[in-house]
Amino acid sequence: MNKIVVMLTGAALMALAMNAGAAGDQSAAVGNAAAGQTKAATCAACHGADGNSVSPQFPKLAGQNADYIVRELQRFKSGERKNAIMSGMAAPLSEQDMLDVAAWFSSQTVKPGEADPNLVKTGEAIYRGGDAATGVPACLACHGPDGAGNGPMLIPALAGQHADYVVTQLQAFANASRKSPMMDPIAARLTPAQMQAVASYIQGLHYAPIQP
């Protein structure tokens, strides 16, 4: 019965994700990775020249879904997503700039991290099976079994992401300082220990990027 509940919840979330993706601000224009490399020079200080940030407080962008990067830059620029640093960085970017920067980072290969062996079992259980007792669906229902996400649905890749950054975002979703109709209710049901465990598991996930 528990497995059925989790599967149904995951299916419902996937349907919501499809609607969110369809409603996203999509453009027929495409990004130029070479131009994006030059334009992303100012991003390197925090995110790394190839999108593999050194500091765990800044997210890795290498291998991230391009459409997702564009959408988040749009949100930073509009003020829908709040971040003092990123709002200023996104403000002068044109739509083509965003497409180019996204093309550059998405074409790079994310460098995977390592999961805490003491947290792997709990983290894997949540990522792959959720927690039926508290209504938490499996993360893989939207982000995929290998954490590659889903570009057309604007679902981010998670594999290899810094655990500290993942925890910070889960906390933001839980306290509604970052808005997401999908993630807010899920994060709010996770305990601090569960957040740490699943974030550590995500940090150790690997996936093979889709070559353009």
CATH code: domain of residue 167: 1.10.760.10
Q: Within this chain, do residues 159 and 191 fall inside the same structural domain, yes or no?
A: yes
Q: What is the pLDDT of residue 199?
A: 98
Predicted confidence (pLDDT) per residue in 37-88, tens digit: 999 999 999 999 999 999 999 999 999 999 999 999 999 999 999 999 999 9
Higher pLDDT, 129 or 14: 129
Q: Within this chain, do residues 125 and 56 fall inside the same structural domain, yes or no?
A: no
Domain that holds residue 122: 2-19+112-203
Residue 164 identity: D
In a domain, 52, yes or no: yes
Q: What is the pLDDT of residue 180?
A: 95
In a domain, 81, yes or no: yes
Q: What mean pLDDT is predicted for residues 100-113?
A: 96
Q: What is the pLDDT of residue 207?
A: 73
Residue 133 identity: A
- Cα separation of 174 and 185, whole Å? 7
The total domain count for the chain is: 2
Higher pLDDT, 206 or 171: 171
Q: Within this chain, do residues 119 and 196 fall inside the same structural domain, yes or no?
A: yes
> What 3 state SS string does the chain have?
CHHHHHHHHHHHHHHHHHHHHHHCCCCCCCCCHHHHHHHHHHHHHHHCCCCCCCCCCCCCCCCCCHHHHHHHHHHHHHCCCCCHHHHHHHCCCCHHHHHHHHHHHHCCCCCCCCCCCCCHHHHHHHHHHCECCCCECCCHHHHCCCCCCECCCCECCCCCCCHHHHHHHHHHHHCCCCCCCCHHHHHHCCCHHHHHHHHHHHHCCCCCCCCC
In a domain, 210, yes or no: no
- Cα separation of 3 and 197, whole Å? 20
| Domain end call among 51, 78, 106 | 106
The half-sphere exposure of 121 on its side-chain side, counting CA atoms within 13 A, is 1
In a domain, 54, yes or no: yes
| Burial environment of residue 140 by CB neighbours within 10 A (0 to 12, 13 to 18, 19 or more) | middle
Q: What is the pLDDT of residue 210?
A: 52
Q: What is the pLDDT of residue 13?
A: 53
In a domain, 129, yes or no: yes
Percent of the chain clearing pLDDT 70 (strictly above)? 84
In a domain, 24, yes or no: no
CB 42 within 8 A of CB 111: no
Q: What mean pLDDT is predicted for residues 13-41?
A: 69
Q: What is the pLDDT of residue 206?
A: 86
pLDDT confidence of 28, banded at 50, 70, 90? low
Q: Within this chain, do residues 158 and 129 fall inside the same structural domain, yes or no?
A: yes
Q: What mean pLDDT is predicted for residues 161-169?
A: 98
| Burial environment of residue 24 by CB neighbours within 10 A (0 to 12, 13 to 18, 19 or more) | middle
In a domain, 211, yes or no: no
Q: Within this chain, do residues 95 and 79 fall inside the same structural domain, yes or no?
A: yes
User: What is the rounded average pLDDT for all residues in the chain?
Assistant: 89
Question: Residue 194 pLDDT more than 60?
Answer: yes
| Domain end call among 66, 82, 106 | 106
| Domain end call among 81, 106, 131 | 106
